[in-house]
Structure 1
């Protein structure tokens, strides 16, 4: 054991390998050296001067301290205290620790030679290639290349800036790990997390706690976020919220994807979206905003260029109730016209020489100027028809242009007289590119011929060659226009704002569900864009509003000022309307159905193209009297208090009216659909879908509501339902007593005796109550029969 202990002691001793000078002090048991070289374990330490305490196995070094450990670590400082027993080097003042490609700088550093761990607590910085990292406290592990940072951590890269409370960074892999509130700010976006990882080189990221991604007005939340910064791609898992505050759009779901370049978000698994409107709904006696909620298997939202969308115009009513579209604004607005004019003026000013100052001219000079003007106009017609490059390619044209260019006085005078009547007439007569016509006009017009003859004589041969060399009419003009556009300054053609304007679009796929307090719908797919504020339903859409159900191939609902404005059903349109206290189905069908809303409620409707209808009229006591079945080119429907108040046939009507008492069966138009069981009744049903019945359950909802008979009107409603909905089944299953057949007449007689019969419960005379009690067994039996014949419940709209 003794040799082993001695060997261990020798290994921990600090060895003085070399020194220029040395001295010792017996009292302090210290040795003083100049430019010593110490060795301990696998490290070599040098400095300008040092004091060695051999018994304590420590030394203190001053100035130009340098520690070399292996072939990877170099540490520099102005001062060092080293303990060979603990193997800890305490370095102060201008400390630099270099580990291959990483450099750590600080004022105070404790470095353990054994574990190769460096620690600073008064601020430090690590620089690794393009990454700069600073913090108050830091711990660097040389073996694993991991660095732990605490308090005021800041990481700066060319693509991002990271601020954190607690972080671990690996200088070899470039991965950062976060254990506290952290922000990663990129170019225009920001990622927040309280637990995650980010690679400063590849820009991959994962976040697992309180995550939030923001980009301008858009944000994305999720329990887990994955992000690829270079690809601009993000993925979110569980409890996803994608929000855009600019247009008040919020997407929810359990799995989502975000594409930065396309500004597109895709959400699946319980996906739904909320859109704010200006409609209000009363909740707990308070008015709250009435949002539109949409759910589907998959939801996609994106910012797209407005010019790429096919927008839908709002229908409006014109004279004689004719439908039309809103008048489109003039695309050439005053601002655009003004901008184009200014641009043309600017281009002209740049191309033309400065105007000569006005001065009094003699008669001879005025005549010369008139000739020059006409000559200049003729030349202008010819030269404007050709681009400079294409004209120079024509044989003889080069010499003509050079000759004209020399006569600068003539051209300046011609330019100053550009507004004479003769020149205007010539310019109107000659189209760009038509040199032959210009030549013939010049020869036929004696005035112009005389004034232009002197100039054209010199270039007549060249002009004839140019005329024969010209392409067909219009071809050169198009080429010239394109060349001129290329040569014009950038500001001469004002940009169209619609080319850069972006707008929000929403797409929904499969099992689409929509809920709003005054509108509900289902469909296979949906498209919405804020550019025209129109919801478009496709794939067997069904829409409910008030007591009406709309079906067709395609349904459009338009919002105006964030309120319901119009509804259109395209192809195979079918509307079914049921009053709140009745089971009579008012029906309308046609090729196109157009409805208008007022204050959130349907006000009127137009049915066009082979319009058919079945409508039940009621008297002032709301008792059904007649059924009208009509066919016409057009039908107009008026609504009042959420019910049909009148139905008007327009253009070649044909029809028949039958008293309700004579009806033997319920009348249905071809294509009749009534599916209230699919109607979303709440935001919850939009998110989760309709609740499915439990397997093996035999309990069904009653078709006819069990109404406690309190007044004559309620009793009559029940009897009408029992008689009209399933008369054949009732005859087989229920033997109605004689009192039932005469019940209606008894009620009428009671009404005559009591014209002001109250409707409130408990206020009806005892005679009506007793009749209702007598009928209750009959009503229960009728209810059980109707369950079998009409399984779809008739819910109160």
Structure 2
């Protein structure tokens, strides 16, 4: 016998002895039953050749049959140590317990006192829902547990296979405990984990430690999770992450349905879209990958890359639909927008990428909401406050830069006078603005145009204050401030020295100073929730 074989035998003897010691309390608590020899073709008892053993050998028709306390065993040959209540079985060994457990091997040791069996050589353990294959296996009938420590493979319903270095099967719970280099393979996915608990009856798998689930359409990572192999649903926590090709979802916990290609995430959510170059955050989200749609709520925010800047949209709920060419973002219930040169808010903001349009609107004014009644959609571009019933921003499709602006009904622009306490003001029915490099350059006010303008010279000295009404106005901006106002078809107008411009004529109808609402940072998006 070579050295390796001797070492293996010593290891097996040690493990078998350890199991025997563990089972001693059970041994002394119950009356031992004797192993029964039911049938054998040949009996041989020769103490000189086989010390204290009876040799049982099959004949041409039947195997040796042995039974003990609820199990039946068959083999080609057996050594029966009657004084020790012990069997060594060789060749095509079968151990059967009840109608559910079958153990096949080439060699088997069975102790009738401890009810512990050790099987080796092409070991196969079968139960109604799975089959285990391994080189060697320990079976403790008192605990109703089977154990291997030198790699094994479990096959469930011919499609799920589970490989591991160490495995423990709890018969009463119909549960496997796999440890070290665990790999669950399915035609649709693979699960790699250091530890896996698997219930053969319902196909539920629980994994512990860094785990990866790989498939054609998605990759999943977590350090603690659950997966139902029967209906392909799972729940993952602790460093949970799901990769849908070009979309990555990170959250405290993630539910996943493979059949629907659906995921829902809860708390500290971060969704990275590499195709559209945006990141979405919130505390609850649902993602329908096949429909190219998702919604996110509870401090929801989406950040989209725009050249060297980023555009942030925040609201109570954000709904995103469509593929990368037809992406539509709908932010509703107190929506806000922020980038370095632009910010604003409205009841809802709709952004259509294919059209390059962002629409700021109020919800139904009949609803009893104080925000809807008292405030209109608003934009801030540098020092300018722009309001109206509906605001539309148009973006260049290739660069995502702001191209133009349209304000429908009750358009109003406010700009704080650079040195004094007054406000430059422009109002009208329709506003059309033009941007260059994201900076407002010109504005046309069409119909019912009114203006108040504080005119200063090159030394920034106040020259006069102009108040007028016209059919149309054209406003020119320079360095983000009003440079000139051109009146078309002026109806009425007057200039005032500062001392004659009394308080009762200083404001146009509809004036509402909301400059304090200007969003200056990402944090300001959330501060407004408390107002």
Q: Pick the TM interval, shorter chain.
A: 0.7 to 0.9
Asked if the contact 2:32–2:112 (Cα under 8 Å) also holds between the matched residues in 1, the reply is no
Assess, with a 3 A threshold, how the Cα gap between structure 1 residues 688 and 80 changes in structure 2: closer, same or farther: farther
Of residues 278, 286, 300, the one that matches 1:249 is 278
Query: Which position in structure 1 is the counterpart of 2:494?
Result: 656
* 2:61 pairs with 1:33: no
Distance in 1, matches of 2:393 and 2:269, equals 28
State the secondary structure of the residue aligned to 2:523.
Answer: helix
Offset of residue 89 of structure 1 = 1.6
State the secondary structure of the residue aligned to 2:209.
Answer: coil
Of residues 404, 408, 412, the one that matches 1:574 is 412
Give a deviation string over 1:34-66, Cα, whole Å, max 9, x none. Answer: 032222221111100111222333222111100
Asked if the contact 1:206–1:226 (Cα under 8 Å) also holds between the matched residues in 2, the reply is yes
Query: Which position in structure 1 is the counterpart of 2:169?
Result: 140
Query: Which position in structure 1 is the counterpart of 2:321?
Result: 302
Once the two structures are superposed, the pairs formed by residues 314-463 of structure 1 within 5 Å of their partners are: none
Asked if the contact 1:271–1:687 (Cα under 8 Å) also holds between the matched residues in 2, the reply is no
Asked if the contact 1:243–1:250 (Cα under 8 Å) also holds between the matched residues in 2, the reply is yes
Of residues 189, 203, 206, the one that matches 1:177 is 206
Query: Which position in structure 2 is the counterpart of 1:164?
Result: 193
* 2:364 pairs with 1:531: no
* 2:483 pairs with 1:671: no
Asked if the contact 2:342–2:382 (Cα under 8 Å) also holds between the matched residues in 1, the reply is yes
Query: Which position in structure 2 is the counterpart of 1:325?
Result: none
State the secondary structure of the residue aligned to 1:223.
Answer: strand
Give a deviation string over 1:450-493, Cα, whole Å, max 9, x none. Answer: xxxxxxxxxxxxxxxxxxxxxxxxxxxxxxxxxxxxxxxxxxxx
Distance in 1, matches of 2:325 and 2:200, equals 42
Of residues 89, 114, 124, the one that matches 2:117 is 89
Asked if the contact 2:73–2:93 (Cα under 8 Å) also holds between the matched residues in 1, the reply is yes
State the secondary structure of the residue aligned to 2:524.
Answer: helix
Of residues 47, 54, 79, the one that matches 2:107 is 79
Offset of residue 212 of structure 1 = 0.9
* 2:182 pairs with 1:153: yes
Once the two structures are superposed, the pairs formed by residues 263-278 of structure 1 within 5 Å of their partners are: 263-278=292-307
Distance in 1, matches of 2:284 and 2:30, equals 63
Asked if the contact 1:58–1:83 (Cα under 8 Å) also holds between the matched residues in 2, the reply is yes
Give a deviation string over 1:6-59, Cα, whole Å, max 9, x none. Answer: 998863432222211111232421221103222222111110011122233322
State the secondary structure of the residue aligned to 1:621.
Answer: coil
Distance in 2, matches of 1:502 and 1:536, equals 18
Query: Which position in structure 2 is the counterpart of 1:634?
Result: 472
Offset of residue 223 of structure 1 = 0.6
State the secondary structure of the residue aligned to 1:689.
Answer: helix
Segment drifting more, 144-153 vs 562-571? 562-571
Assess, with a 3 A threshold, how the Cα gap between structure 1 residues 587 and 8 changes in structure 2: closer, same or farther: closer
More helix by percentage = 1
Offset of residue 158 of structure 1 = 4.4
Give a deviation string over 1:248-287, Cα, whole Å, max 9, x none. Answer: 11111112222233222111111111111114xxxxxxxx
Once the two structures are superposed, the pairs formed by residues 591-670 of structure 1 within 5 Å of their partners are: 591-651=429-489, 654-665=492-503, 666-670=505-509
Give a deviation string over 1:160-216, Cα, whole Å, max 9, x none. Answer: 332222111101111111112222334512222211111111222111211111212
Give a deviation string over 1:91-146, Cα, whole Å, max 9, x none. Answer: 11211111113111112211112222111222222122242222222111111110
Asked if the contact 1:272–1:686 (Cα under 8 Å) also holds between the matched residues in 2, the reply is no
Of residues 199, 219, 223, the one that matches 2:252 is 223
Give a deviation string over 1:405-442, Cα, whole Å, max 9, x none. Answer: xxxxxxxxxxxxxxxxxxxxxxxxxxxxxxxxxxxxxx
Assess, with a 3 A threshold, how the Cα gap between structure 1 residues 657 and 162 changes in structure 2: closer, same or farther: same
Offset of residue 626 of structure 1 = 1.1
Asked if the contact 1:559–1:566 (Cα under 8 Å) also holds between the matched residues in 2, the reply is yes
Query: Which position in structure 2 is the counterpart of 1:505?
Result: 328
Distance in 1, matches of 2:239 and 2:128, equals 36
Higher relative contact order (CA 8 A, sep 6+): 1
Distance in 1, matches of 2:39 and 2:32, equals 18
Assess, with a 3 A threshold, how the Cα gap between structure 1 residues 618 and 572 changes in structure 2: closer, same or farther: same
Distance in 2, matches of 1:7 and 1:570, equals 92
Query: Which position in structure 2 is the counterpart of 1:750?
Result: none
Give a deviation string over 1:770-794, Cα, whole Å, max 9, x none. Answer: xxxxxxxxxxxxxxxxxxxxxxxxx
Assess, with a 3 A threshold, how the Cα gap between structure 1 residues 581 and 53 changes in structure 2: closer, same or farther: farther
Asked if the contact 2:27–2:113 (Cα under 8 Å) also holds between the matched residues in 1, the reply is no
* 2:219 pairs with 1:190: yes
State the secondary structure of the residue aligned to 1:80.
Answer: strand
Distance in 1, matches of 2:31 and 2:300, equals 72
TM-score, normalised via structure 2 length: 0.86
More strand by percentage = 2
Asked if the contact 2:377–2:390 (Cα under 8 Å) also holds between the matched residues in 1, the reply is yes
State the secondary structure of the residue aligned to 1:179.
Answer: strand
Query: Which position in structure 2 is the counterpart of 1:546?
Result: 382
TM-score, normalised via structure 1 length: 0.58
* 2:133 pairs with 1:105: yes
* 2:65 pairs with 1:64: no
Query: Which position in structure 2 is the counterpart of 1:123?
Result: 151
Give a deviation string over 1:66-106, Cα, whole Å, max 9, x none. Answer: 00111110111111122333322211121111111311111
- RMSD across aligned positions (CA): 2.2
Which structure: larger Rg? 1
Assess, with a 3 A threshold, how the Cα gap between structure 1 residues 152 and 503 changes in structure 2: closer, same or farther: farther
Query: Which position in structure 1 is the counterpart of 2:41?
Result: 20
Query: Which position in structure 1 is the counterpart of 2:393?
Result: 557
Distance in 1, matches of 2:30 and 2:378, equals 90
Q: Which runs of 5 or more structure 2 residues have no equivalent in the other structure?
A: 1-25, 59-63, 363-375
Distance in 1, matches of 2:97 and 2:529, equals 71
Distance in 2, matches of 1:558 and 1:502, equals 16
Distance in 2, matches of 1:518 and 1:677, equals 16
Query: Which position in structure 1 is the counterpart of 2:9?
Result: none
